[in-house]
Amino acid sequence: MTIPFEERDRSIPGIVIDLLNQFTTLLRQESQLARAEISENVNRAIMGIVMAVVAAVVFIPALVILLMAAVYALEAAGLAPYWSALAIGGGALIVGAILLLVGMSRLKMKNLVPRKTIHQLQEDAALAKRQVNGEERTGDGFQRAA
User: For 82-124, what is each residue's pLDDT tens digit?
Assistant: 999 999 999 999 999 999 998 888 777 666 677 788 888 888 8
Q: Once rounded to an integer, what is the mean pLDDT over residues 118-140? A: 73
Give yes or no for a contact between 41 and 114, defined as CB atoms under 8 angstroms apart. Answer: yes
Q: What pLDDT score does 23 carry?
A: 84
Sequence ranges of the domains in the chain = 14-124
Q: What pLDDT score does 90 carry?
A: 95
Q: What pLDDT score does 72 carry?
A: 96
Size (the chain), residues: 146
| Overall pTM surpassing 0.75 (yes/no) | no
The number of C-alpha atoms within 13 Å of 38 and in the hemisphere containing its C-beta is 10
One-letter identity of residue 26: L
pLDDT over 70 percentage in the chain: 82
Alpha carbon distances (Å) from 71 to 56, 61, 77, 78, 97: 21, 15, 10, 11, 20
Alpha carbon distances (Å) from 61 to 49, 55, 67, 68: 19, 11, 10, 11
Q: What pLDDT score does 82 carry?
A: 94
Q: What pLDDT score does 30 carry?
A: 86
Q: What pLDDT score does 146 carry?
A: 44
Residue 144 DSSP SS3: strand
Distance CA 71, CA 68 (A): 5
